[in-house]
Structure 1
Amino acid sequence: MSKSVVLLAAATLVLLGSGATAQAGGTREPVANGRTVDGTYSERGPWEVTSQQGFGCCDSSGNKFDVWYPTDLGANGDRHPIITWGNGTWAHPFQYDYLLSHLASWGFVVIAADNTNTGTGQEMLEAVDFLRHEDSDPSSIFYQSLDTGNVGAMGHSQGAVGALNAAISSGGELKTAVPIELPGQYMCGLPKADAAMNVCTDPRALTTGSVLYVNGSNSPISQSIQPLPWDLIGAQSAEGYFGATPDSVPKVRATLNGPNHNDIQGQPGCPANDPGCVDGVQGFLGVLTAWNMDNLRGDAHAHSAFISGAGELFSLPAWSNQASNIIS
């Protein structure tokens, strides 16, 4: 990779990963309504959603936790799996409100530290610890309503690094990780204004749980494929990260055609007052939700989409570069 490309990518990370320029166990029964997986989970789920900024305190850096959760927590004895979220560089949780609210509408409790540097994944694990304490506190709205045995991590850009690092360091407590727009490993060695951004991740160290690597085709720093094998140049793309992840771990990768690096923050349809939005978040919703329904709620209908070659993900025209080692 030339020096000019590296410098361009570094500048792009600062521009696109920042909040300054960004767009704004429950039931184990499968969804068997005859609809496609993507069609089912792209739509809003059956739960009304409540969200709250600064719900509780704090991660080890003093940042409060924001939450999204089903309004009628624990209805019919349901226990809600937990998703812990990691923001992109300089971004804040509520910039991802549409996505995180969508996940909560499918019965998940989502928590995110309002932390602009999330690459270590530490604050993501601290958020999980916070909710586990809430589940055991009779005075909490979350008391005995959480499925604390089914926890996943998701994150965007630097937060994608954090999601993978959280899964690696969790000792198997996280069932799955979903890194979205994961930057190439070369990015963690570039000079940055804040040393806290210089965090990398090694997919070879992931030995438990499962992982879904997702990127948009027009992200300049989260590439789909790479010119040389990962063992020669490191994991510089979704292809590289997928290849470096041990085959003992259930793993999938796919590229959504069209979106840029920050469309995961956008609203569907890209409103005119959101100039940084190209395609918006809509195209991501079905696959991301289905993956969590499979891995955290045991949904067989959702699981079927990710089976290598035969799964629905491989026939969706909006997606490309699909790969999976899940065979049944």
Structure 2
Amino acid sequence: MRKVMKIVLILLGVVLILLIAVFFYIKSKLPNGGGNNDITEGYYERFQSDEPLEMRYANPSSFETSYTEFTSDNESIGKVRVWYPTELEGSDKIWPMIMVVNASGTPASSYEPFFPRLASWGFVVVGNEDGQTGNGQTASITLDFMLNVPSDSVLARKIDYHNMGIIGYSQGGAGAICAVTKYENGAYYKAMFTGSAAYPTLARNMGWEYDASRVTIPYFMVAGTGKSDDSGSDPETSYGGVSPLSALTSNYNSISDDVQKVRARAVGAEHEQMLMRSDGYMTAWMLYQLAGDEEAAAVFVGENAEILHNNNWQDVEKNQ
């Protein structure tokens, strides 16, 4: 009996070692930052597009921006970081808000120039310092904080809680889907964008399991055509890249046709390039969904939608 128990324990130990090895192998395949490593001051100046709307929305807009931060009781969050139009301070207007869910190992402070550029379009943009966001928990906790922002804060009574969006990249893409579908306060979000979200099998293996079919808000999902996002392998039997076309298509198809949805891939883009490559159309999507911007809507809506004839994008599918 003791000999049998010893053999069982040895086998369990071997299995545990193999599981740990598989975990770290998969983790090593995820590029840190999901596209955030190139986001330095003036990063948008390196972006080029022949399409006027994409080029316009990839750049800053006219609002000057300011910054405030709050220390969180949650160790993973560290600080809640908020960028906003400076005009907010001297008016009674309420402003739409965007929650940003970080990619792997990428706190908001590591790609800071992204936030004021987006805020310059008239958004309150919220980030935190969590580098492991895949289960959506810290996004949910951060949202709870913003829903109850301190009464003495410059942001008090200045956020439009009926017009809030969420965006996430790589691991943070899985985290954004989880934040919307697994937490009660996810019902506050009006629109979602994900850039190269970890595909479902990869997300499940990493502890970030999500079900895209539960998404009921307008959703714009993108990925790159490069090998780091789509290795060409069957993602169900081997590592398929972070966000292969087959998984993007499956996620898109799983969502009800009653929900406005768009999917597309950035031509030639590797995983680490996706934040900059998708910046313009991500901004347009949020302006369209949260601010009712008709010009931004022209990127996505109708037979002549700009994204359909933009050489920067392929594998485009939409239902409006």
Would you call these one fold, judging by a TM-score over 0.5? Answer: yes
Choose from 206, 227, 247 the match for 1:237.
247
Residue number among 62, 75, 97 corresponding to 2:112 in the alignment: 97
Q: Letter of the 1:106 partner, please give it.
A: W
Tell me which amino acid in the other structure corresponds to 1:205. R
CA distance 1:315–1:236, change in 2 (3 Å): closer
Deviation at 1:291, TM superposition (A): 0.2
Q: AA paired with 1:211? A: Y
The one of 191, 201, 218 aligned to 1:186:
201
When structure 1 is superposed on structure 2, of 153-162 and 296-305 the one drifting more is 296-305
Q: Aligned letter for 1:47?
A: F
Q: Who is 1:316 aligned against? A: 310
SS at match of 2:314: strand
Secondary structure of 2:78's counterpart equals coil
Show the counterpart of 1:47: 63
97 and 224 in structure 1: CA distance in 2 versus 1, 3 angstrom threshold: farther
Q: Secondary structure at the match of 1:72?
A: helix
1:209 is matched with which residue? 217
Distance 2:101 2:65 in 1: 20
Deviations 1:139-173 (A, max 9, x none): 11102211111111111111000111112134531
Aligned to 1:269: none
**SS state at 1:17 partner:** coil
**Structure 1 199/227 Cα, relative in aligned 2: closer, same or farther at 3 Å?**
closer
SS at match of 2:70: strand
**Are residue 145 (structure 1) and residue 155 (structure 2) matched?**
no
- CA–CA distance in 2 between the matches of 1:224 and 1:306? 28
Q: 1:143 to 1:189 in 2, by over 3 A?
A: closer
User: Which amino acid in structure 2 is aligned with residue 162 of structure 1?
Assistant: G
Equivalent residues in 2 for 1:8-23, closer than 5 Å = 10=26, 13-14=29-30, 16-17=31-32, 22-23=37-38
Partner of 1:30: none
Asked if the contact 1:264/1:284 (under 8 Å) is kept, the reply is yes
Report the CA distance between 1:182 and its aligned residue.
1.0
How far apart, CA to CA, are the structure 2 residues paired with 1:51 and 1:13?
A: 34
Which residue does 1:106 correspond to in 2?
121
Amino acid of the structure 2 residue aligned with 1:149:
H
Matched position secondary structure for 2:257: coil
Equivalence for 1:231 = none
2:179 to 157, 160, 166: 166
Which residue of the partner structure matches residue 273 of structure 1? Answer: none
Partner residue in 1 for 2:130: 115
Please tell me whether the aligned partners of residues 161 and 188 of structure 2 are also in contact (alpha carbons under 8 angstroms): no
1:291 counterpart = 2:300: no
Amino acid at match of 2:171: Q
Q: Whose Rg is larger?
A: 2
Which residue is 2:72 aligned to? 57
Query: What's the counterpart of residue 93 of structure 2?
Result: 78
1:155 to 143, 150, 168: 168
CA deviation digits over 1:113-134, x for unaligned, max 9? 2111111212112222212222
Alpha-carbon separation, structure 2, partners of 1:139 and 1:11: 42
More moved, 69-78 vs 114-123: 69-78
SS of aligned partner of 1:50: strand
Q: Structure 1 residues 256, 297: closer, same or farther in 2, change over 3 A?
A: same
Structure 2: tracts of 5 or more residues without a match: 1-21, 40-50, 237-243
Contact kept, 8 Å, 1:225 with 1:237, in 2: the verdict is no
Q: Please identify which structure carries the higher helix content.
A: 2
